[in-house]
Amino acid sequence: MRSAAKDQPGLLAYLAQRAGYLYISDLRYRVDRDADLQQALQEVRPAAYSRAECIDAVTYITGRAHSFYTAAQALQYLKRYLAAGRPESDRDIR
C-alpha cells in the first residue's frame, strides 16, 4: 500500500526498511529486534500516513484488530505496545 505521498512507501514497508528487516513479516515476528523497530517508529510523522494505514500497521504488527480516531493515536499505541514488550493484553500497555 502506498501512502498519501506519491513517492513514499507504505508504512509497513517504511518501518521494515528503516529497522533493517529483509521482509515486512519481520515486523511481526522478529521480536529480538524491537529496539530497531522502536527507533524507526520515532522517525514516522503521523501526517505522512493515513489513519487507515496506521491502523493497518498496528493490526498487522500486534496481530489484533484495533480502532483509533487518528493516525497519531495509532502510532502512539504501537510505540507503547513495543515498549511494553508486546504484551498479550492491552491492559499491560501504558
pLDDT at 5: 52
Rounded to 10 degrees, the C-alpha dihedral 27/29/35/38 comes to: 30
pLDDT in tens, the chain (94 residues): 444 555 678 999 999 999 999 999 999 999 899 999 999 999 999 999 999 999 999 999 999 999 999 999 999 999 999 999 988 887 777 6
* Cβ 76 vs Cβ 51: under 8 Å: no
Q: According to the model, what pLDDT value does residue 2 have?
A: 44
Report d(CA 94, CA 84) in Å as an integer. 8
Contact 40, 48 (CB under 8 A): no
